[in-house]
Amino acid sequence: MPSPPLPTAASTSPFEPSALLAAIVESSEDAIIGKNLSGMVMSWNTGAERMFGYMAAEMIAQPITRLFPPGTEDTESAILAQLQRGERVQHYEAERRRKDGTTIIVSLTISPIRDAQGRIVGASKIARDITSQKQAQLALETARRELATHAKVLEEKVRERTAQLEEMVAQLNAFSYSLSHDMRAPLRSIKGFAEIVATDFGEKLGPQGMGHVRRIINAAARLDQLIRDVLSFSRVSRQDVTLVPVALDQLVRDVISERADLQPPKAVVTIADPLLPIQGQGAFVTQCVTNLLDNAVKFVSPGVQPRVVIHTEHRDHVVRLWVEDNGIGIEPAAQKTLFRLFYRGHTDATYPGTGVGLAIVRKAVERMHGRCGVQSMVGQGSQFWIEFPAAS
Ligand code: ADP
Concatenated DSSP letters for 273-332?
Answer: SPPPPEEE-HHHHHHHHHHHHHHHHHSS-TTPPPEEEEEEEEETTEEEEEEE--S----H
**Beta-strand runs (E) in 130-243:** none
| Confidence at 251, pLDDT banded by 50, 70, 90 | very high
Is the pTM above the cut of 0.85? no
Evaluate whether 220 touches 204 at the Cβ level (below 8 Å).
Answer: no
The sign of the torsion formed by the CA atoms of 372, 374, 375, 381 equals positive
Is the backbone peptide bond immediately before 265 cis, with ω within 30 degrees of 0?
yes
Mean pLDDT calculated for residue range 253-277: 95
Write out pLDDT tens, residues 274-318: 999 999 999 999 999 999 999 999 999 999 999 999 999 999 899
Pairing status of strand 278-280 against strand 268-271: unpaired
Write out pLDDT tens, residues 195-248: 999 999 989 999 999 999 999 999 999 999 999 998 999 889 888 999 999 999
The sign of the torsion formed by the CA atoms of 321, 326, 327, 329 equals positive
User: CA torsion, points 235, 237, 242, 247, in degrees to nearest 10?
Assistant: 70
For ligand 1, which residues put their CB under 6 angstroms from it?
295-296, 299, 325, 327-328, 330, 338, 343-346, 353-359, 382
Q: What are phi and psi of 69, to 5 degrees?
A: -60, 145
Q: Whose CA is nearest to atom 21 of ligand 1?
A: 295
Mean pLDDT calculated for residue range 155-168: 95
Write out pLDDT tens, residues 165-207: 999 988 888 888 888 889 889 999 999 999 999 999 989 999 9
**Residue 14 pLDDT:** 57
Cα of 288 vs centre of ligand 1, distance in Å, is 13
Q: Is 63 exposed, middle or buried (0-12, 13-18, 19+ CB in 10 A)?
A: middle
- Higher pLDDT residue, 82 or 291? 291
Residues in a beta bridge with 111: 124
